[in-house]
A and B are shown apart, each in its own frame.
Chain A
Amino acid sequence: MTVIRLNNVRKSFGTFDVIKGVDLEINPCEFMVFVGPSGCGKSTLLRLIAGLEDITSGTLAFDEKVVNSLTPSQRGIAMVFQSYALYPHMTVYDNMAFGLKLAKGGADEIKRRVNEAAEMLQITDYLDRLPKQLSGGQRQRVAIGRAIVRDPKVFLFDEPLSNLDAALRVQTRLEIAKLHAKMHETTMIYVTHDQVEAMTLADRICVLRDGNVEQVGTPMELYEKPQSTFVAGFIGSPKMNFLTEKFADAYKAHTLGVRPEHLEVREKAGTWAGKLIHSENLGSESYLYIDIGAKEPLVVRQDGKPSRQPGDLLHVSPINDNVHRFDQSGYPARA
């Protein structure tokens, strides 16, 4: 039930500013995801909240109490690292119990909590093994278990799935979602560069760009009302189409954004027309690349198999005029 408040938080390494004044409030029990391209400062921001890096200026408060100068364990956080970061010479049990032993917990209490966490993550059978005897997915579960055992006020994840293969990633993603449901009194912050993870896990997403917060909102808010071309391009897959010049002028915008899933192919009299240059068939859906004379081909999503051959002339229209209008600076056009 911890509320986290960042007030004009800055971080610089020497003369290089990584975080350039972040104001952000993370609600109690919320699952907040920091997302952005590599180098945007999302991991640094998480490490500032964790206490692994010093805040250059600004304040960080947990429940109205400024924690800038507290150590990670005094802040009551737990963290899951990208590379698992298990202690190689300790068994799974000792890995999970290490923090509690340092905090001078009673032996029975430690045992109970480790077993509880192990059961939750189904790693009870591995408790006396060493990390090197486990697979990647099992190691990451131990790392999550080590964090659970500490019963943290704030639970931090630093790209926990990026070392796992695709199938395991989906499975572990689901487990993290279940974990959030179970630990519903814990505030969680999750860093990823993968927008699918962000969309599926988050209560709210914070999109970062070059050390600044670009937009904060629920996944659907970001999807439906992106506050900049950056967010619009980052959220959604395949990427939103951006049209400029005469295509945008018709909508009184500098840049016109249309998602591939909001376009439909018509027999005639579409808004735009062009030749099909390529199509990708995924079975359940397909993506058509149409050259309508803009800088880049227009991507259109279609249910099922592609119905046309490359070279065919196609007419395309936005469904229900579902377009996003942006002005010159990349923000939503008002007029």
Chain B
Amino acid sequence: MPVAIKNTAFYALVVLIVLFAVFPFYYAIITSFKTGSALFTIEYWPTSFSLANYVSVIEAGSFPRNLLNSLIVSGLVVALSLLMAVTAAFALARVRFRGRSLLLLTILSVSMFPQIAVLAGLFEVIRLLGLYNTLWGLIFSYTIFTLPFTVWVLTTFMRDLPIEIEEAAIVDGATPWVIITKVFLPLMWPALVTTGLLAFIAAWNEFLFALTFTSSTETRTVPVIIALLSGASAHEVPWGLIMAASVIVTVPLVVLVLIFQRKIISGLTAGGVKG
């Protein structure tokens, strides 16, 4: 039965891919429930269930504060970069001006610089602006790195919106701001959700800038704090705490993706927006 073989092979492949993608996270979860020496035995099934690691991560000093920092930074980065990207995309997609394509290419090329290459320069800028060791410093630097991507995607999307709809709005007496907010934004939800989510994930996971531009525990974000978690002595790595913290950090992303899942899918297939 060739069909049966085909189906079996297909699902076997699916299982393999899912295993490959999910296993690290699964292993982090079961490890986070272990304590003591059980942490160092290799087991593929949950053997013990203890919330001790979670309790001590949450109670241990600054972790809730760092989680809040991460939320504030990522949320504001998404809000700021979407606001600027939507307005920039309107100009880049709909207004004719000299040097438009040059500007677009410049924006794209900004996203090609490796983070490490601009780290020193950006550090000076942040010091100069007095943003060192504040959340604003992180928001500022993350926005710089998410903007090229969001501008580029939204420009492409906005260019595909029918020009007649904009003209109809102009005839109806709409200003550019009204066109953007009342006419284009509702049509762009899928694109906004997709780019916003990607910007959120990028800001949420960012490590290098967060490590460099903050120095005190109260201003650090979660990725840095997890990396800097230390045990009772310099030679002890607190695996249980690290795993518990990692699981906690992943939850918001999973929740966000689940909420916006359907929007993302329609965002990826967008372009069929015809009046």
Contact = CB atoms under 8 A, between A and B. Distances in A.
A89 B171 CA distance: 18
A73 B173 contact: yes
Contacts, number: 64
Interface residues of A, number: 24
Contacts of B173: 71-73, 99, 102-103
A102 B172 contact: yes
A85 B170 contact: no
A82 B275 CA distance: 11
Nearest to B183: A87
Question: Interface majority SS on A: helix, strand, loop or mixed?
Answer: loop
B174 A83 contact: no
B171 A83 contact: no
Among B165, B172, B186, the most chain A Cβ lie within 10 Å of the Cβ of B172
Contact of B168 (A81, A89, A103): A81
Given A87-B275, A88-B187, A88-B273, A98 B172 contact: yes
Nearest to B182: A98
Of A50, A82, A83, chain B has the most CB atoms within 10 Å of the CB of A83
Interface string B238-275: 00000000000000000000000000000000000111
B172 A89 contact: no
Interface string B149-182: 0000000000000101101111111100010001
Contact of B275 (A77, A78, A79, A83): A83
Contact of B171 (A78, A82, A84): A78
Given A79-B171, A102-B172, A87 B165 contact: yes
A150 interface: yes
Nearest to B165: A85
Contacts of B178: 102
A146 B170 CA distance: 13
A52 interface: yes
Given A83-B164, A84-B275, A85-B165, A77 B171 contact: yes
B275 A88 contact: yes
B192 to A, nearest CB: 13
Interface in A33-90: 50, 52, 71-73, 77-79, 81-89
Given A85-B275, A102-B174, A131-B275, A79 B168 contact: yes
Interface of A: 50, 52, 71-73, 77-79, 81-89, 98-99, 102-103, 131, 146, 150
19 contacts: A52-B170, A52-B171, A71-B173, A72-B170, A72-B173, A73-B172, A78-B171, A79-B167, A83-B164, A84-B275, A85-B167, A86-B165, A86-B275, A87-B165, A88-B165, A98-B172, A99-B173, A102-B174, A146-B172
Q: Which 3 A-B pairs have the closest CB atoms?
A: A73-B173, A99-B172, A85-B164
